[in-house]
Amino acid sequence: MLAGFGRIAGRSPYASAMTPDSGPGIPGWFVALIILGVMISIGTFVWRISAARKMASDAGLDPDKATTAALLGRDGLDATYIASTLARRPQAQTPPAAQTPKTTEQRLQELQALKDKGLVTDDEYTTQRAQILGSI
């Protein structure tokens, strides 16, 4: 008696669900759209990781930290770009070694040359000359 339970006219109760023309189902275009979306998501994921790692290694930063930043936030790739750009900037140049100070004579000659070229007025010349002579 249990052997025939659930059977209608010798057919399995799931037989109708197994036939391709059994009624409305998921259309093929929808499945293709889902697969395309998943492929684009995976491609974007891989691109974000590779771009972050390349920017970081080019700038001398840790690629693993850049990968973490790129994965954890929407703006992680932007943050990695900014960090790599800032890291590439040359560090502040150390000032050149201090030159030996000019002698009073050299300073006066330089001031006279500026006056002769018309780059300083007579008043400026007199003021600067007094300062140079006052520093002796």
Sign of CA dihedral 55, 57, 59, 62: positive
Residue 80 corresponds to which tokens in the numbers above? Answer: 């990695």
CB 83 within 8 A of CB 61: yes
Cα-to-chain-centroid distance, residue 28? 40
pLDDT tens-digit profile, the chain (136 residues):
455 555 555 555 555 555 555 557 788 899 999 999 999 999 988 888 888 888 888 888 888 887 777 777 777 777 777 777 777 666 556 666 667 788 888 888 998 998 898 888 888 889 988 888 888 7
Q: Which positions ≥6 away from 125 have C-beta within 8 Å?
A: 111, 112, 114, 115
Could you give the CA distance from residue 46 to residue 56 in angstroms, rounded to a whole number?
15
Cα-to-chain-centroid distance, residue 64? 14
Q: Which residue has the tokens 């979306």?
A: 37
Whole-prediction pTM: 0.42
Helix, strand or coil, per DSSP, at residue 11: strand
Could you give the CA distance from residue 136 to residue 132 in angstroms, rounded to a whole number?
7
